[in-house]
Amino acid sequence: MLKARVITALFLLAGLMSALFLLPPPGWLALASLICAVGASEWAAMVGFSKAAGRLYGILLGGLCAAGGMVSGLHLESTVAPFSLAPLYGISALFWLGCVPFWLKSRWKLPGSAAGALVGLVLLLPPSLALAHLRLLSPWLLLAVMAAVWVADVAAYFTGRAFGRRKLAPHISPGKSWEGAYGAAAGVLIYGLLCLSQVDGLTPLLAALAVPVLLGFTAVSIIGDLFESLIKRQAGVKDSGTLLPGHGGVLDRIDSLTSTLPLAGLAFLWIAR
């Protein structure tokens, strides 16, 4: 299992880096739409869709992502501030900040396939479009945002294994601890401040203001991870899919990105206004 996990991770990293820096905007938008489609089909299977309906749902969401990206100009080199995405990012922010924390606390169950389809739309469409949006601003910017999520995951894992005592959400994900969450926050804080130190004109005030932003980013990434864990637990599955040997499905790899990428996209739209 470990060997398969490492080999898959290396292939994923090589593929991501190649696509990130070599694909033209239309190609990257197509890739983001494909990720949306595969993630949507996995989500559909977890919330009770039939196999055929899940595939159709994935195709529809992937097509919606491609169409939304083209309408927003994400297939063009010149687009830097697609403000038409702001409402979609705003809905995503309300979902993750205003709804999901209560969802996790109460461990709600989706009442039916219609609700599952709607939640899947909010879950997958905004981050897929943000993936195209942030890469259009700069491949390095998108990589930095994604790396912050990876830092949080790695720091939480190792800190939790070494010091984990108090369970973070024992009924949702028994392996996660408060100590792991603190480690994730510390890791992202160090990583983020190191990145900001390379920015010309950085002042102590801006660095201080970045601290709560980085801590909030970490919290949202953990919420995204916990939300998928809850849905998987309610569906009675260990992984969202089997596409990636040793890693499960696409949703298992992007769970924290579904919550963080739209907020990053919204932040950069606000900066560009």
| pLDDT, tens digit, 9 for 90 and up, residues 75-108 | 998 777 789 999 999 999 999 999 999 999 999 9
* Average pLDDT rounded to a whole number, residues 226-239: 94
* Average pLDDT rounded to a whole number, residues 176-199: 94
The domain containing residue 228 runs over which residues? 2-76+85-272
pLDDT at 248: 83
* Average pLDDT rounded to a whole number, residues 255-267: 96
* Average pLDDT rounded to a whole number, residues 28-40: 97
pLDDT at 81: 78
- Phi (first) and psi of residue 150, to 5 degrees: -65, -40
* Average pLDDT rounded to a whole number, residues 64-74: 96
CA distance 182 to 178: 6
The first and second tokens of residue 62, run together, are 């992937």
Reported as type and span, the H/E element at residue 167 is: strand 167-169
Amino acid letter at 84? Answer: S
pLDDT digits (tens, 9 = 90+) for 196-213: 888 777 788 888 889 999
For residues 166 and 224, the answer to whether their CB atoms sit within 8 Å is: no
The set of residues, in sequence order, having a beta carbon less than 8 Å from that of 30 and lying 6+ positions away, is 66
CA distance 169 to 258: 19
- Which one, of 85, 40, 95, 136, lies nearest residue 223 by Cα? 95
Mean pLDDT across the chain = 92
* Average pLDDT rounded to a whole number, residues 57-67: 97
pLDDT at 2: 54
The first and second tokens of residue 188, run together, are 């992202």
* Percentage of the chain lying above the pLDDT 70 cut: 98
Q: Domain count for the chain, please give it.
A: 1
Burial class (CB in 10 A: 0-12, 13-18, 19+), 79: middle
User: Which CA distances in Å does 27 have to 21, 129, 175?
Assistant: 11, 13, 38
Q: pTM of the predicted model, to two decimals?
A: 0.94
For residues 166 and 179, the answer to whether their CB atoms sit within 8 Å is: yes
